Amino acid sequence: MSGLPAGRYVALTTYRRNGTPVTTPVWCAPDGDVRLVWTNPDAGKVKRLRHTSDVLLADCDARGRVRGPHVAGTATLLPGDSWPRLDAALSARYGWQYRLSRLGSSLAARRAGRQGPLGIGIEIAPRRPDPTPADRPGPH
78-115 pLDDT per residue, tens:
998 888 899 899 988 887 888 888 777 777 777 777 76
Burial of 13 (0-12, 13-18, 19+ CB in 10 A): buried
116-137 pLDDT per residue, tens:
667 889 999 998 766 554 544 4
3-state secondary structure 4-63: CCCCCEEEEEEECCCCCEEEEEEECEEECCEEEEEECCCCHHHHHHCCCCEEEEEEECCC
Identify the pLDDT of residue 4. 82
Coil, helix or strand at residue 134: coil
Residue 19, phi-psi category: left (phi > 0), alpha (psi -120 to 50), beta (remainder): left
Identify the pLDDT of residue 94. 85
Domains of the chain: 9-126 (2.30.110.10)
